[in-house]
Chain A
């Protein structure tokens, strides 16, 4: 049984239908890609799948459970996590707190008005463990705002991993990254896929094709193809739409 499935998702904004009949399923442990030209609806699709919007039609299930229209914070607690293309970090504080805030152990004490936070060594160890996955342990106590772009991207992903999800949705994680950082990111994703199921939106085709097991291609608000990278390479519609030749 697939870990995560979307069936016949439909989404309108006012009179405009942005997504129509979007379906796909993701197996546990897989890396699933979503690609398509700008404005095709892939971001909206992502937002629907991760609970930011409720779909107007269709069904989403996770681990056999219907999660259609569930609020993001409940999805996060169930094990569905996401990162953002336009980074959403806690900029006023230090790097490690970004991760601590996302740890379930911490979240369970959210309403606690008494306990210590930064002297809780167990919590800090856990947070360091997450930072280690993205290679940011050296920066743990620096101000988030002072981090260079590439490291903010890494932190962005770390915050998505900290809740210990079963499936992680990454929204264009290579945005704005140079070649070296992109390569590092590819290595990171290859590493984390051993623990998490990954769904990935990307523009960078070679990045996506190297990492993904299956890719859904979205265009005009619909899934026009879904297949393995090899199969898609030779699909002419995909090639043309991805290269932006088809309007």
Chain B
């Protein structure tokens, strides 16, 4: 069975065949989305959720810190972007930077409060902190627009040197988000295969031992939390741009729970790509199943419960199991080129 701790055959090189296929699909989506019966905006949503889910899994899967209140940081990013665009400048990079920084700061604050814990205490504290953000979003009407949300957030143009590209159309915005997604994937893949990623996993596997061999575990957990919040903020900023508004509901415990469910169902506990699969499953349920019945969320929830009961390795784990059964994948051991020990 695959595990996050598996050693990749080609080190941290992001250019694996499956990665290539995925990137190709992502970068060409506007061309095939509509012919398949889907719509452009869906591509934007899915790409944004990919970013959120992959960044989240750095904390949830790799570090083993189960945050059930992470929607708060997506929300902070969204509101920060919106407030910047409305009150400071209609500027794309500035807005996104502010989104990332604000969410990162929120994550740093919460992380400082809860990083000395793990397990159940950590999970419940994360819920409580998420709820506090949600409350603030709802009650601070003058800043956030309260339950009505922050409306009328402009989509700034993309300005690179002398080139100005309008992002008002969904296809154009999609390409922008897609490029960011690819960058995020490359960066995260590097990070999880670098020492930092391995240390996060060590802390997940045995926090005490990590401490006793010299790691400042608190600091590393705090970093992981802050980073995952920053990624959430990036996703949030993009989301505010896509929706042209920001609402408090992303910070609610229901929404925060959804990202947990997506990541688990997809197999985020065992695979880097798990979160991607999970997001796809969710949107499939929402849009395709949702077209058939209003109770699609009930079915998604039931599926999640069954996955937890029967196959917590999720979809990625299932795929791996099938591939091994068919004999497509050899058992994993030393990376290519490494010396194995022995006489």
Contacts and interface: CB of A to CB of B under 8 A. Distances in A.
Contacts of B199: 101, 110
B337 interface: yes
Q: Choose among B209, B211, B215, B216 the residue with the greatest number of A CB atoms under 10 Å from its CB.
A: B209
A205 B150 CA distance: 73
A138 B343 CA distance: 8
A195 interface: no
Interface string B119-162: 00000000000000000000000000000000000000000000
Contacts of B170: none
Contacts of B212: 50, 72-73, 76, 81-82, 88
A159 interface: yes
B334 A141 contact: yes
B190 interface: yes
Contacts of A97: 5, 7, 198
Given A91-B206, A100-B198, 4 more contacts: A89-B206, A90-B202, A111-B195, A119-B338
A101 B198 contact: yes
B23 interface: no
A144 to B, nearest CB: 9
A128 to B, nearest CB: 6
Interface of A: 50, 71-73, 76-77, 81-82, 84, 88-94, 96-97, 100-102, 104, 106-107, 109-119, 121, 124, 128, 131, 137-142, 159, 162-163
Contacts of A138: 341-343
Interface in B194-242: 194-199, 201-202, 204-206, 208-217, 220, 223
Contacts of A50: 212
A72 B208 CA distance: 9
B209 A73 contact: no
Interface in B260-315: none
Contacts of A163: 213-214
Given A76-B212, A138-B342, A112 B194 contact: yes
B340 interface: yes
A109 B199 CA distance: 10
Contact of A101 (B193, B210, B333): B210
Nearest to B13: A116
Contact of A118 (B4, B209, B220, B338): B338
14 contacts: A72-B212, A88-B208, A88-B209, A92-B4, A96-B341, A102-B214, A106-B195, A110-B196, A112-B194, A112-B195, A115-B195, A121-B338, A128-B341, A138-B342
B14 interface: no
B6 to A, nearest CB: 8
B78 to A, nearest CB: 26
B215 A73 contact: yes
Interface string B1-36: 001110100011000000000000000000000000
A162 B11 contact: no
A139 B334 CA distance: 11
A76 B214 contact: yes
B201 A141 contact: no
A73 B217 contact: yes
B333 A141 contact: yes
Given A92-B4, A93-B5, A117 B206 contact: no
